[in-house]
A = this chain, B = another copy of it.
Amino acid sequence: MSIRVTVWGENVHEQKNKVVAQVYPDTMHGTIAAALNRAGGITARTATLQEPEHGLTPETLAATDVLIWWGHAAHGEVADAVVDRVCEAVWGGMGMIFLHSAHFAKPFKRLMGAPCNLTWREAGERERLWVTSRQHPIAAGLPDHFELEHEEMYGEPFGVPEPLETVFISWFAGGEVFRSGLTYRRGAGNLFYFRPGHETYPTYHDANVQRVIANAVRWAHNPAARIADPGAAPNRPVDAALEPITERGPRLHHDGEEGYR
């Protein structure tokens, strides 16, 4: 069965900025979704900030195996209730891929628990991504490095937690480096951060970039059933203990009570 992907795009600069509109006449999220639909085994649709609930209703998330997120100018306009819903879905097993400037998106900051800072420069300089984890599924079919002739620079320190795996590191012509491909797990959800994708450059038309994103979708997909309430903290009553124990000492809670949240 096909992996169901929702590509979420902020959809601001595509509408307001002529350069971006020319580079991405089908929008950035539309371009990414189209590439995924050509990749095989993936069915991608899009959702945007401007739709009701940003296009991320409970029903949409329930039918999304992997969510891709691109945002930049309008991080602050994303409703907290939607951010909560997205995080719950991730914890329950939805995969999620954050692209480029989504390093400061609300759900990324929430899932990282870290400042997510970096340095940046918009000069159309050369970026070269090196594969650091050989034969990693996210690097399948790639050469040992590939280049993007024009990209925005992001530089270290990148204020994220130590990842499970570092898959790519970028070299920039201006002298910086950046951990460009990082994997995480939060609850039952697999996360991947992938750096490239400044909106004034044709990055998402690049075949290697498209391949990374499709690989990451397959890697992030958790086929297990979604956990309905990943934060539930069930009481295990004494009389249902797996080993025979006797209740001892004073108690704060009553039988069958919910704990404090």
Which residues in A have some Cβ–Cβ distance to B below 8 Å? 13, 17, 19-20, 72-76, 87, 91, 93, 101, 104, 110-125, 128, 130-137, 140, 144-145, 150, 153, 155-159, 161-162, 164-166, 169-177, 179, 184-188, 198-201, 222-225, 227, 230-238, 241-243, 245-253, 259-261
Q: Which of B130, B131, B233, B247 contacts A120 (CB 8 A)?
A: B233
Chain B residues with CB below 8 A from A111, complex form: 113-114
Query: Is A113 touching B112 in the complex (CB atoms < 8 A)?
Result: yes
Query: Is A238 touching B123 in the complex (CB atoms < 8 A)?
Result: yes
Query: Is B251 touching A122 in the complex (CB atoms < 8 A)?
Result: yes
Instruction: Give the 4 A-B CB pairs with smallest separation, nearest first.
Output: A124-B249, A175-B242, A124-B248, A135-B188
**Complex CA–CA separation, A150 to B249 (angstroms):** 8
Chain B residues with CB below 8 A from A174, complex form: 236, 238, 241-243, 245
Q: Which of B114, B172, B222, B245 contacts A135 (CB 8 A)?
A: B222
Q: Which of B161, B185, B249 contacts A185 (CB 8 A)?
A: B161
Residue of B at shortest CB range from A73? Answer: B260
Chain B residues with CB below 8 A from A253, complex form: 122
Say what secondary structure dominates the interface of chain A: loop
Chain B residues with CB below 8 A from A116, complex form: 231
Best-buried of A112, A134, A162 by chain B (most CB within 10 Å): A134
Chain B residues with CB below 8 A from A125, complex form: 245, 248
**Complex CA–CA separation, A172 to B259 (angstroms):** 19
**Complex CA–CA separation, A158 to B231 (angstroms):** 10
Chain B residues with CB below 8 A from A72, complex form: 260
**Complex CA–CA separation, A77 to B122 (angstroms):** 43
Query: Is B131 touching A156 in the complex (CB atoms < 8 A)?
Result: yes
Query: Is B187 touching A177 in the complex (CB atoms < 8 A)?
Result: no
**Complex CA–CA separation, A237 to B100 (angstroms):** 19
Query: Is A130 touching B260 in the complex (CB atoms < 8 A)?
Result: no
Query: Is A199 touching B252 in the complex (CB atoms < 8 A)?
Result: yes
Residue of B at shortest CB range from A147? Answer: B242
